[in-house]
């Protein structure tokens, strides 16, 4: 099976998510059925698509270098990232439960996002079963 190029993954993912968000808003919100609202919805969806698909494209582009780095340092990185994500997610849920949202809760959301991105990159790099060269 042929792999998609990283730029294709990035652009196609952004276009498809932008289109899906636009169609969803068109179907769900009758007041948003004009050209201006469609453009805004498409831009928001495309930006979200870029955010979702950029780690995948990055991992595909630099697969060899990331794999070699992970072979040396991955056993130290993965558990620490998982632990930090668990602590940050716990703090975020506690903030939601107690109806408080401070700067640390915002940082916790960022830590969870960065940990998820690292998890996607590690999964893409190690997912094909080939050995590092």
Burial class (CB in 10 A: 0-12, 13-18, 19+), 10: buried
Q: Please write the tens of the pLDDT for every residue from 26-47.
A: 888 888 788 888 899 999 999 9
Q: Are residues 73 and 125 in the same domain?
A: yes
Q: Are residues 55 and 9 in the same domain?
A: yes
Q: Please write the tens of the pLDDT for every residue from 59-115.
A: 889 988 988 988 888 888 888 999 999 999 999 999 999 998 899 999 999 999 999
Q: Please write the tens of the pLDDT for every residue from 90-104.
A: 999 999 999 988 999
Residue 12, pLDDT score: 93
Q: Are residues 48 and 81 in the same domain?
A: no
Q: Are residues 46 and 80 in the same domain?
A: no
Total structural domains within the chain: 2
Residue 85, pLDDT score: 94
Residue 133, pLDDT score: 52
Q: Are residues 43 and 66 in the same domain?
A: no
Closest CA relative to residue 5, chosen from 68, 59, 47, 50: 59
CA distances from 65 to 73, 121, 122, 126 (A): 12, 12, 12, 12
Single pTM value for the model? 0.73
What is the extent of the structural domain holding 93?
62-133
Query: Position of tokens 């640390």?
Result: 104
Q: Are residues 91 and 125 in the same domain?
A: yes
Q: Are residues 48 and 82 in the same domain?
A: no
- Residue 125 to residue 20: CA distance in whole angstroms: 27
């Amino acid at each position: 099976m042929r792999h998609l190029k990283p730029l294709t993954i990035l652009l196609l993912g952004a276009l498809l998510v932008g289109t899906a968000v636009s169609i969803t808003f068109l179907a769900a919100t009758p007041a948003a059925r004009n050209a201006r609202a469609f453009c805004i919805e498409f831009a928001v969806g495309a930006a979200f698509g870029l955010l979702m698909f950029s780690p995948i494209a990055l991992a595909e582009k630099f697969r060899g270098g990331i794999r070699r780095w992970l072979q040396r340092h991955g056993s130290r990185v993965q558990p620490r990232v998982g632990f930090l994500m668990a602590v940050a997610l716990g703090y975020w849920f506690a903030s939601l439960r107690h109806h408080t949202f401070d700067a640390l809760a915002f940082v916790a959301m960022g830590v969870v996002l960065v940990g998820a991105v690292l998890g996607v990159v590690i999964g893409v790099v190690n997912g094909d079963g080939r050995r590092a060269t």
